[in-house]
Structure 1
Amino acid sequence: MANDLPLRPPPPLLDDACALFLDVDGTLVGFAEHPSAVALAPDVRAAIARLSDRLDGALALVSGRPLGQLDALFSPLRLPAAGLHGHQLRHADGRSHDAHGDQANADWLRAVREQAERFASSHPGILIEDKGASLALHWRTAPDAAAEVRAFAERHVRGNSGYRLQPGDHVIEFVPIGSDKGRALRMMMQQAPFRGRLPVFIGDDLTDEYGFEAANAQHGWSVLVGERESSAAVFQLPDVDAVHGWLLENAWSSAANPTSTSTSTKKEMHAP
């Protein structure tokens, strides 16, 4: 459900009783022409590691990227993570869960990829990203092709009961039905060290709305990065740099714990 109230900045200090869920692209790193071109700032990586320790490991990445890409981007950290919009899950104890699809859907997606590659060959600037269980069509360097890319995707997903379309920032993706960031958050919240904590979800894109709604439903809070006309988020940070600043402030503040958080801030952190 969209939040009709004006969004405000999140509380400056994160309560140690929270669990932190972080989107990656558009939240921790800016967008690039190719997904492989991004890099995580070392001080942000260090802040995430420190926050993970402070939260007893209750910090997870929730991304449309596959787990292998997340591990490469955040190396040497190996965090609990949801990849491919929750199709892949890795829990804090290292156990991984990959929701395997059936062969018919795998064959169908392979055929769509082949057609998408032919489509891209006649539309310079369109990037086809094969993620294995999902397929993304990017048009960041070909903004005039947006309508054609969407039409291609809508035409090819029609009639398939195993996949849905997930729009994003200059991208549309074929995603397995049942996989979304909200489901990933709910599954992680059932496991230690997340269980019993208040979820905090930070993200920027339409894909993150599922996470916002799931966090709100568990009496946690949600933070939109950037602007959107309608969002389920309760709080807002203006851009990636602001996310970095918030993380760094929390990582190095000695006051960020339940006993030192003011009563007014606690009420704000528990806002629906």
Structure 2
Amino acid sequence: MTVSPPNRFPPPPALPERCALFLDVDGTLLEFQDDPGTVALPSGGLDTLARLADRLGGALAVVSGRPLATLDQVFTPLLLPAAGMHGQQLRGAPEAPREVPDALAELHRQATVLAHRYPGVRVEDKGGAVALHWRAAPQAADALQALAARFAPRLDGYRIQPGDQVLELVPADVDKGRAVRRLMEHPPFAGRTPVFVGDDLTDEYGFEAANALGGWSVLVGRRPNSHAMYALPDVTAVHAWLQSNL
């Protein structure tokens, strides 16, 4: 039996009194599922978030690769401050109009063909971005990565964003760190100590931003090379820690 090495990061302390809390969603507040539409917060999780948001004067935001409309379905009836699509959508801030390149539609078409060849692959059209998921079809990873690499030079102004068994083609000027910085410029976040909690490679941008702004960051799970200062082992531990801060 292989035993995972202990996490080199200590557990997080209590939240500062004047904290701005930024939470990733999948893998942080929600367990991963092959079909993300089937996941739900653990029992009591919504109440914990509502009470914590109230304690923080509303300075609690979810920062996710999901679109805002999908996030609102997960957290209903709460309407939390949120950054969707890695910050491409930001509640309360105007979105800059973007021209979606024709190559993105062609990428989606070819990825859909691959999905028929590899049952379990999920191709997610986010409007201004495309995500290629292979959690339920790990044998498709190489083919999807090769497809993304082939299209990347044709997608001017876009970058490949790797994640946990997913690749996304996203605008190059969008990431979770930029989303945190923009939210920190406005009430109720301005003037507070930022804390970012997340599990994925995409959350490293958020970790860096929170650290640079005088706050701190929490990795969920294990990763040897992370900018996080603290760590929690899993989703269950995240909810227990959040509840302990009420």
TM-score, scaled to structure 1: 0.85
Q: Distance in 2 between matches of 1:140 and 1:159?
A: 26
Partner of 1:229: 224
Matches within 5 A, 1:45-124: 45-90=46-91, 95-103=92-100, 105=101, 107-124=102-119
User: Quick check: 1:215 aligned with 2:207?
Assistant: no
Letter in 2 for 1:44: G
Partner of 2:169: 174
Instruction: Check conservation: 1:223, 1:237, Cα contact below 8 A.
Output: yes
Q: Distance in 1 between matches of 2:245 and 2:130?
A: 36
Secondary structure of 2:154's aligned partner: coil
Cα distance, 1:159 vs structure 2: 3.3
Cα distance, 1:198 vs structure 2: 0.6
Partner of 1:137: 132
Partner of 2:182: 187
5+ unaligned residues in a row in structure 2: which ranges?
1-6
Between 1:34-43 and 1:15-24, the stretch displaced more is 34-43
Q: Distance in 2 between matches of 1:120 and 1:228?
A: 29
Secondary structure of 2:104's aligned partner: helix
- Give RMSD over aligned pairs: 1.3
- Number of residue pairs aligned between Structure 1 and Structure 2: 240
Percent of residue pairs identical: 56
Letter in 1 for 2:210: A
TM-score, scaled to structure 2: 0.94
Secondary structure of 2:58's aligned partner: coil
Cα distance, 1:40 vs structure 2: 1.1
Cα distance, 1:32 vs structure 2: 0.4
Q: Deviations over 1:92-119 (max 9, x none)?
A: xxx343232115x2x3212211111112
Secondary structure of 1:158's aligned partner: helix
Q: Deviations over 1:42-84 (max 9, x none)?
A: 4111111111111110000000000000000000000100000
Cα distance, 1:6 vs structure 2: 3.0
Q: Distance in 1 between matches of 2:84 and 2:245?
A: 25
Instruction: Check conservation: 1:225, 1:239, Cα contact below 8 A.
Output: yes
Q: Distance in 2 between matches of 1:120 and 1:85?
A: 24
Secondary structure of 1:98's aligned partner: coil
Q: Distance in 2 between matches of 1:102 and 1:150?
A: 24
Instruction: Check conservation: 1:44, 1:247, Cα contact below 8 A.
Output: no
Instruction: Check conservation: 1:33, 1:141, Cα contact below 8 A.
Output: yes
Q: Distance in 2 between matches of 1:110 and 1:216?
A: 37
Instruction: Check conservation: 1:164, 1:176, Cα contact below 8 A.
Output: yes
Q: Distance in 2 between matches of 1:127 and 1:233?
A: 30
Structure 1 runs (4+) greater than 2 angstroms displaced: 95-100
